[in-house]
Amino acid sequence: IEMAQKLLNSDLAELINKMKLAQQYVMTSLQQEYKKQMLTAAHALAVDAKNLLDVIDQAR
């Protein structure tokens, strides 16, 4: 579970970085690319969070 928490922290940090880049490049030609990267990072965070919840449920 500790490894999963570290992974989630890493995923969240990645999402924050991608969100900052998306905000920085709003109204430019790169906006769509950074928005796509942000959504990809958000998806990775959601999948890893679900995996952690599944592990916790199985441990009960």
Give the predicted TM-score (pTM) of the model: 0.87
Share of the chain above pLDDT 90, in %: 88
Number of domains in the chain: 1
Number of residues that make up the chain: 60
**Cβ contact 11:44 at 8 Å:** yes
Q: In a structure prediction context, what are the per-residue pLDDT tens digits for the chain, which is 60 residues long?
A: 889 899 999 999 999 999 999 999 999 999 999 999 999 999 999 999 999 999 999 988
Give the C-alpha distances (Å, rounded to integers) separating 12 from 21, 27, 44, 57: 14, 25, 9, 22
User: CA-to-CA distance for 56 and 4, rounded, in angstroms?
Assistant: 11
Tell me the pLDDT of the chain averaged across its residues.
95
Q: In which domain, by residue range, is 37 found?
A: 2-59
Would you state the pLDDT for residue 1?
A: 80
Would you state the pLDDT for residue 60?
A: 86
